[in-house]
Amino acid sequence: MHRAGLYSRPDQKTSKQIRGLIALLAATTLQLANAAPATECTNLPAQEASDAAFTWTTGPEAQAAPAAAAYKIAIWGDSLTSARNFIDAALKTGGIGKTTPSFIQAGIKVPGLNLPLKHSCATGGWKTAYAYKEKGGTPGFSEGMLSMESSTPGDVIHMDFRYLQPDSRVTQLDIQYDKPAPDSSLLLGVAVDGGAEQLIPLSRTDAGTLRIMPEVPMATIAMRLVSGQIKVHGFRPRYRNAPNVVLDTFSVPGAQLRGWNYVDARLTQAAPAYDLILIQYGTNEGASPSFNAAAYADSLRASLARLRRFQPHARCILIGPPDRGVVGSGAGGPMKYAEIHHRIALAQQRAAVASRCGFWDWQGETGGPGTAVRWTRTNPPLMQPDLTHMTARGYEVSGRLFARSFPFKIPQR
């Protein structure tokens, strides 16, 4: 009897099956590599094909922030500052013109979030996670407080960096990512400025930074998920001819300061040491039916302590919630939220002292309780009918008042 060895030749039937399997795997790989986006990005301007090229590398967190001479400002908050009207008016009042970001949030699909991009798009399979919505579990967010995850082949993220002016260009981009399944395979396709796509295998890495270095400073980038699963935590660009002021806006509609409990120090190692941080929260905390002033004060102190460990040396200013009214005949009477916001402001004022921060009383500095109703009656209105959110003009008025109370102190470097 002949005993087949370990490496004996397969019979004809087995050989045919193996050839069929190899062909199937090859066809599947080709199909994944050519997969179309799950949902097309339709809001992007037409772009001519180019021969733009780039090199890439991967590794642990690596800083892509601007030169040390830049004055760096960051703001964290909720929808009241996520649209930028407030901070842009404050900067203008303070004599600050153009700024660039050192970090762009993974918030392309977040409604009401004004990212520092000319255009951006993420196709249908990308899912957004929010730090403030977490309930238990381990920290897993960068300072951007958002992440985007997909396992859908063909999903695309597209970004246009010409936010400041038509000739704005990026000389380097760090894409901060995790693999939810660290040992799994991951393949991306990346193209810059409409050039040929390069396939980038990331199967041998579990997390860190994908650095894109265009041969010529780039205006746009497209990143396509070919296969695998990826979680993107944000983007760290370096701009050509950048202004000497960096502004990173991390405000998220609906956010609460408790989101800081889920920021992972590992994901903030590349963040710059900010010169000024602005912390604007309170409206969403005050909207809770179970709001308790003592419990809020305890949570506030804990979250601020965590934030200060991240940025221990920055000049720090807490911004309290503005006035809020009650639409209709809600329980608690017409001054319910105005009174809650006043209690929140008092708690923030005390916590600011303990955290070596200044405090700006948005409600008090704009007229005190009842301002929300009065501002709906101005011409033009400064408050929207919901008595919670201001109009663009209302945010601009507030931003100017803030800058007069806390002038920006930018040293000559």
At 271-312, the pLDDT tens digits run: 999 999 999 999 999 999 999 999 999 999 999 999 999 999
pLDDT at 300: 97
User: What is the rounded CA–CA span in Å between residue 322 and residue 362?
Assistant: 5
User: What is the rounded CA–CA span in Å between residue 161 and residue 169?
Assistant: 7
pLDDT at 59: 83
Domain boundaries, the chain: 50-405
Residue with tokens 């008025």: 397
CA distances from 327 to 30, 331, 388 (A): 57, 10, 9
For residues 168-175, average pLDDT: 96
For residues 377-383, average pLDDT: 97
pLDDT at 186: 96
User: What is the rounded CA–CA span in Å between residue 395 and residue 291?
Assistant: 26
User: What is the rounded CA–CA span in Å between residue 207 and residue 229?
Assistant: 12
**Quick check: 387 and 372 in contact, CB under 8 A?**
yes
Proportion of the chain above pLDDT 70, given as a percent: 85
Round the average pLDDT of the chain to a whole number and report it: 88
Nearest to 178 by CA among 33, 307, 60: 60
pLDDT at 231: 97
**pLDDT tens-digit series, residues 116-170:** 999 999 999 999 999 999 998 899 999 999 999 999 999 999 999 999 889 999 9
pLDDT band with cut points at 50, 70 and 90 for residue 62: low
User: What is the rounded CA–CA span in Å between residue 207 and residue 59?
Assistant: 8
Interacting residues of 297 by C-beta distance below 8 A, sequence separation 6+: 347, 350, 351
- Given a cut of 70, is residue 8 above it in pLDDT? no
User: What is the rounded CA–CA span in Å between residue 391 and residue 378?
Assistant: 11
pLDDT band with cut points at 50, 70 and 90 for residue 328: confident
User: What is the rounded CA–CA span in Å between residue 319 and residue 360?
Assistant: 5
**Quick check: 111 and 253 in contact, CB under 8 A?**
yes
Interacting residues of 317 by C-beta distance below 8 A, sequence separation 6+: 276, 277, 278, 279, 352, 357, 358, 359, 360, 406
**Quick check: 144 and 103 in contact, CB under 8 A?**
yes
**pLDDT tens-digit series, residues 239-264:** 999 989 999 999 999 999 999 999 99
User: What is the rounded CA–CA span in Å between residue 223 and residue 175?
Assistant: 10
**Quick check: 318 and 350 in contact, CB under 8 A?**
no
**Stated pTM of the model:** 0.88
Tokens matching residue 12: 């004809």
**pLDDT tens-digit series, residues 93-114:** 999 989 999 999 999 999 999 9
Determine the straight-line distance between the first and last CA of the chain, rounded to whole angstroms: 88
**pLDDT tens-digit series, residues 304-321:** 999 999 999 999 999 999
pLDDT band with cut points at 50, 70 and 90 for residue 206: confident
